[in-house]
Structure 1
Amino acid sequence: MRRDSIFYRLFAQSPSLLFELLESPPNNASEYRFDSVAVKEPKFEIDGVFLPPDSESLGVVYFAEIQFQKDEQLYERLFGESLLYFYRNRSRFSDWEAVIIYPSRSAEQSNSHPYRALLNSDQVHRVYLNELGEFRQLPLGIALLVLTTLTPKQAPSEARYLLAQSQQPGMESEVSTFIMEMVITIMSYKFSSLSRSEVEAMLDITIQETQVYRDAQTEEAVKLVLRMLPRRLKQELSEEMQSRITALALPQLEELGEALVDFEGLSDLATWLERQSS
């Protein structure tokens, strides 16, 4: 399962979700924005970075790492990249913290001794999804993260539970649509041998709900991509470019949402769009 892209889509939609995993979140958690950054000399790509709001006072930058496979050099890479980025942007931030999300303790790097000072400090937070508590007692956003770890036997009933919760009175339509989108995406990856319609049937989603969902999903995908691109490219998009993106089909929008993390300039976006029309 491509869990990284799923988690980063969740964080892009709701950056404050990361801070629900921490015992002491920042007071301005709702104002953070999620991004990916490049660090040159040498060049590193850090996919999960939570940037504090721009203000007169310096804020804390948070680095997030999703790790579902054991990597025996994870901490070397994570701390090396994070500290280098902090060093090169020292004038922008007052401090840094890192959050590593594991499915369970068994996925953690075996030899962590060289990093004991950092790992035992209040700067580094290790989250084990299987230790967060009873699934149906978790906030919906956190439950979506945990859904990626459930077995094929457990997942369908819990996915249907999340869909039912997303339809409760008072739930904003945008939030409801996003939860449905993420549940179907997670289950499609988990049951990759099934077609989209078979996954929807397994989740008891009606044809009418599916059509309404797909229309809303496309609209939300357009909004999300148009919000992320200017941040990634560090410049606004022209009306002509926005129109071309708005005209994309949902699968293309999803592909663009994953591809844009590698864009370094407007020319990369233009090249990508040309490939779609050829």
Structure 2
Amino acid sequence: MKTDSIFYRLFQTFPSAFFELINLQASEANAYNFASVELKQTAFCIDGVFLPVADTSSQPIYFVEVQFQKDNEFYARLFSEIFLYLRLYAPTTDWRAVVIFPRRSLEPIQVQAYRVLLESKLVTRLYLNELGEVTEHSLGVGIIKLVVINKKETPLLARNLITKTRLEVVDQALKQKVLDLIETIVVYKLPLISRQELIKMFGLDNFDIKTTRIYEEVRDEVIEEVRDEVRQEQTLEVVIRLLRRRIGNLSQQLQDSISQLSTEQLENLAEALLDFSTEENLVAWLKDNSTQA
């Protein structure tokens, strides 16, 4: 699932959910505008920035980053983006960074260089699988939970959120946006869901999945992503097994580095490893190839 775009839409639709996530009042959202910021002349793009509106400039800027993949360089990139933003835009207000992980295991381990920042009030780290009771009361946070909940529980939570949306959201335009967002997440997570299941989930008498706003743009893309993920996982498993036969057990750090490779890179590694005899051969290959697209 392309979680960056999902969360961007989510925080655009429900900015209050962000502030509830960080234990502030939902009304705080009224003092902010939300946007994605691309930093000029660089390859950096910050997932989301909550900027105080003009008459509430005493409020801090909130930088939001969503990280759903293991990336040992994540914090290096995050703080580079933040400080480059501060240099380019020279804001006069305080700032905060909020990092959203689906679970703790995806957070980088080697963080010594950033420990002062991570342990300060400037940075908040959130783990979506540890969300508490707030998901039961907040529609926006409940939709966030929908992104990370397991596939088996997805239909029930989606139905509850759809009911909650119809009961609580009065504005018809906003209601449709929320239902579209729930639908998008469901189709991303369950690309093979049947027409009958969607009829039941959305409580409609006549519902054709192929006429939904996002079906055509999502289904083929998601199925291809699923195929790619399966192919990548299978290739990764084979490569790790072959490497163990050639050079013995691999350290966790090396396994993490290999898991970041694309399917094409893994296939190239499968060919190259036939010439490996030591761990140093693997380290050298990764150094030369892991950063290449």
TM-score past 0.5 threshold: yes
- Report the CA distance shift for 1:251/1:105 in structure 2 as closer, same or farther (over 3 A): closer
Q: Percent identity?
A: 38
Show CA shifts across 1:35-73 (max 9, x none): 122223545222311111023845422110111111111
Q: Is the 8 A contact 1:67 1:100 kept in 2?
A: yes
The letter of the residue matching 1:94 is T
Tell me which residue corresponds to 2:171.
172
Pair 1:83–1:198, CA change in 2 (3 A):
farther
Given that residues 59 and 93 in structure 1 are in contact (C-alpha distance below 8 angstroms), is that contact kept between their aligned partners in structure 2? no
Cα RMSD between the aligned structures? 2.9
Query: How far apart in 1 are the matches of 2:116 and 2:34?
Result: 27
Matches of residues 261-276 of structure 1 in structure 2 within 5 Å?
none
> Match of 2:89?
89
1:77 pairs with 2:112: no
- Pairwise mapping of residues 1-278 of structure 1 onto structure 2 (< 5 A)? 1-24=1-24, 28-55=28-55, 57=57, 59-90=59-90, 92-134=91-133, 137-168=136-167, 171-194=170-193, 197-207=195-205, 210=207, 250=213
Shift of residue 26 of structure 1? 9.7
Contact 2:20–2:26 (CA under 8 A) maintained in structure 1: no
Look up the equivalent residue of 1:176 and give its one-letter code. Answer: K
Change (3 A) 1:158 1:191: same
Q: Deviations over 1:148-193 (max 9, x none)?
A: 1111111111111111112226743334323321221111001112
Whether the 8 Å contact between 1:60 and 1:93 is mirrored in structure 2 is no
Q: 1:98 Cα deviation (Å)?
A: 0.6
- SS in structure 1 opposite 2:93? strand
**Cα pair distance change 1:204/1:60, threshold 3 Å:** closer
Which position in structure 2 is the counterpart of 1:228? none
Tell me the TM-score normalised to structure 1 length.
Answer: 0.68
Structure 1 residues not aligned, in runs of 5+: 218-249, 256-278
Assess if the C-alpha contact under 8 Å between 1:188 and 1:199 holds in 2: no
1 or 2, which has the higher helix percentage? Answer: 2
> SS at the partner of 1:110?
coil
Gaps of 5+ in 2: 219-293
- The residue type equivalent to 2:160 in the other structure is Y
Q: Which amino acid aligns with 1:200?
A: L
